[in-house]
With several copies, the nearest count.
Chain A
Amino acid sequence: MNLYEYQGKEIFRKFQIPVPDGYVVSSPSEVKSYTSPVVVKSQVLIGGRGKSGGIKFAKDQATLGNAVKELLGSKVRGLTVSKLLIEQMLDIRKEFYLSITLNRTERKPMLIASVAGGVEIESVPETEIFRKSIDPIVGYSDFIGRQLTKFMKFDAQLAKQLRAILPKLYQVFEKYDCELVEINPLVLNGDGKLIAADSKVIIDSDSLYRHQEFPKEDPERTPLELEAQSKGYSFVELEGVIGVIANGAGLTMATLDALLLHKGKPRNFLDLGGTDSTDIVVEAFDLVLKANPKVILVNIFGGVTKCDTVAAGIVEAKKKYGIKQQLVVRLSGVRETEGREILKQNGIVAFSEMMPAVEKVVSFAGGA
């Protein structure tokens, strides 16, 4: 789960990583009297806020008031702004990049840094990027900071500041079960101090049970995706016309892949998961129908999820929702015979192989 900039900075503050003085407002009445130049930052979970007009500067009370009024409720790259972070303006001398993330290949945390911050890290040449895997049992140790400050060619004063930030950043990464904790840019301010001008913190969703202080929000998801998420489904909306219900992330992906290779366009990704209950199947139909697909493909390889359960669910969903769409079903695996029998009694012929089902549903959809 992505945290907002202000949430990340609250954590940084708690861990004594320097951040600019600032406060959050969700209405113009919460704006404090102007005392010194400030930056007004839209709190939306998307990059490129600056270029999209989501960040404004104010050097007097009037411009501050205007900026707040203008930004609150506006849209930044499609996302509605409901909170603003109003912060002291920095006197930026240099911008650096600093993050800790999971290196999935090495199965270890990795520290990434660059003297070239403030831009997309992807466009910085390899030679300017410091990468260092951290042994998760040992954790962060100061020698890593000494290696980094040498790479960054920091003087003693800057090196000391960075080496104070690094262990705290690693603590944040660990304590908050982060996938990513990123400071971009880490700013060298006019006063010679390093300060985190932005924050990007992504918490492993599987760990949210121990971080209940954060409301579950995810503006990158559509309302339907959020509904599905709240019901426990892996569900992604796509651009096509073929509704898809399958079981297992890999099989569901393979189903979409097969549709696309046959020039069929999936409307969604829906993984039933491994729970064996007709209700789960009925609710899955509810979600897929809300996405209003032209046709629907059900692709089940029975294991934990048994074919007869899915068949019963399909029959129940048909009855409950009066499904109008053409429905193509493929059943294979555990209790395949029983499942096919249930469907047959309700006038549905199920395929036992995946490819004919895919071909059939694509032809129904008018593709290929």
Chain B
Amino acid sequence: MKVIVDENSKVIVQGITGHQGMFHSGEMLKFGTKVVGGTSPGKSGQNVNGIPVFDNVSDLMHLNPDATMISVAPPFVKDAAYEALDAGIKVVYILTEHVPFHDTMEILYNARRKGAWLLGPNGPGITRPGKVKIGIMPNTIFKKGDVAVASRSGTLTYEIVNAITLDGMGESTVIGLGGDPVPGMDFIDALELFNADEDTKKIVVVGEIGGSNEERAAEYIRKNVRKKVVAYIAGRSAPPGKRMGHAGAIIERGVGTAESKIKAFEEAGVRVAEYPIDIPKMLE
């Protein structure tokens, strides 16, 4: 079943000649992703890891790409996203960090208008072991299996996925929502997909303090999800009002605390792990 993308999805990289674009297009190829082209204005005719480079997205649409990974500097992200949406690409993943959230809001609602998925910004992307990877998650930690993971964090996701894999289980789909104030996808988007995906039997939700997305996710799970769900919340120890790197981790006005999120999950029948490492055991 297709969860945003599958093994047939063709992927392009906007900004493929940059440091990140070069490295991760290569890693995606190694993972088995069909990376069919890339763009970098003024560099058409070159190739990166054997992938042909074009000036504009409109120049490579004959390759029928399904998805794009955008890796350009923050001031150019909005244009790149609109370029992809204008060309009709339906999955837009933004790798770039530090995109102004006002830009992301605009991109998000225009993506929705056009029936496109937005992933990121500032998240590790989506990985479907044995099928496809779009983004920057390390290739080595995955194993095909039936656990789906949705996470607001990057490295912490790898930690948890690695633990699941080492424990002998495997993953169906892993989605990094990103840590920005306005993520392209939220937990409910991911949970709907996981709930409908027949290859997914168990679900891990990796949240953070700040906002009320975890609380809403808990409510959604209580109402709709009959698969086993386990959660982890980072930031239990964060002192109120101190910034923790992610704007998403500002504790404001008494909402969005770790306590509130843990309570919401437990009331929805979702066990919450104390340590990331506990998750595999709780899934068994």
Contacts and interface: CB of A to CB of B under 8 A. Distances in A.
B102 A177 contact: yes
Interface of B: 41-42, 55-59, 74-76, 78-80, 82-83, 85-86, 97-102, 105-106, 108-110, 113, 124, 136-138, 140-141, 151-159, 162, 179, 181-183, 186, 206, 208-213, 216, 232, 234-239, 242-249, 253-254, 274-277
Interface of A: 102, 104-105, 107-109, 122, 135-138, 141-143, 146-147, 150, 156, 174, 177, 179, 204-207, 209-210, 234, 236, 238, 246-254, 256-261, 266, 269, 271, 274, 301-305, 332-334, 353-355
Given A104-B210, A249-B246, A333-B158, A303 B238 contact: no
B234 A254 contact: yes
Given A206-B101, A253-B234, A333-B162, A136 B106 contact: yes
Nearest to B236: A257
Contact of A137 (B106, B152, B235): B106
A211 to B, nearest CB: 10
A156 to B, nearest CB: 7
Contacts, number: 201
Nearest to B254: A122
Nearest to A276: B23
A234 B155 CA distance: 15
Given A254-B159, A354-B275, 16 more contacts: A104-B248, A107-B186, A138-B110, A143-B58, A206-B99, A234-B246, A236-B244, A249-B245, A261-B275, A274-B97, A274-B154, A303-B138, A333-B140, A333-B141, A333-B158, A355-B275
A182 B276 CA distance: 39
Nearest to B137: A303
B242 A236 contact: yes
A234 B245 contact: yes
Contact of A206 (B74, B159, B162, B206): B74
Contact of B140 (A156, A236, A253, A334): A334
Contacts of A301: 155-156, 158-159, 162
A334 B138 contact: yes
Given A138-B110, A250-B208, A108 B237 contact: no
B206 to A, nearest CB: 7
A303 B102 contact: no
